[in-house]
Structure 1
């Protein structure tokens, strides 16, 4: 992990580094919004584009709107599990 990322996101850098160590950089980039970025609710997390191994020519990222849509869908899914209902019931 670069010192800049560790300096800017001291709480997040260890989580990102652990994920890289366990799974590799490609896995982290592929699963970033699902597995790591949600930590942003409790600690400051960098955007995917700020990761030192992110290459815009090789990797996709989600727009803010796409992230909001994804998290809303997850929220609805969790609520359905909690209440035991199906969508639109």
Structure 2
């Protein structure tokens, strides 16, 4: 992890570093929006492109619209689990 990331995102950097240590950089890049980016609700979190090991040519990122759609779908899924209903009921 770079010092710059730790300076700009002091709260999130330990979580990112722990995930890299536990799973590796490739895992973090693959699972960033599902596992780490939701921390943005409670702290400043870097965009995926700001990670020091992100490679623009090799790694994909989601647009804000795609992220919003994904999180809305997860919210609906959790609500369906909570209420015991199926979509459209």
Normalised by the size of structure 1, how large is the TM-score? Answer: 0.99
Figure out how many residues of one structure are paired with residues of the other and give that number: 89
Distance 2:61 2:27 in 1: 14
Question: Cα RMSD (Å) of the superposition?
Answer: 0.4
Query: Which residue of structure 2 lines up, in the alignment, with residue 6 of structure 1?
Result: 6
Distance 1:47 1:74 in 2: 20
Distance 2:46 2:86 in 1: 34
Give unmatched runs, 5+ long, in structure 1: none
Give the ranges of 4+ consecutive aligned residues of structure 1 lying more than 2 Å apart after TM superposition.
Answer: none
CA positional deviation for 1:8: 0.3
Deviations 1:12-35 (A, max 9, x none): 000000000000000000000000
The 5-angstrom pairing of residues 29-44 of structure 1 reads 29-44=29-44
Give unmatched runs, 5+ long, in structure 2: none
Matched residue of 1:39: which SS? helix
Normalised by the size of structure 2, how large is the TM-score? Answer: 0.99
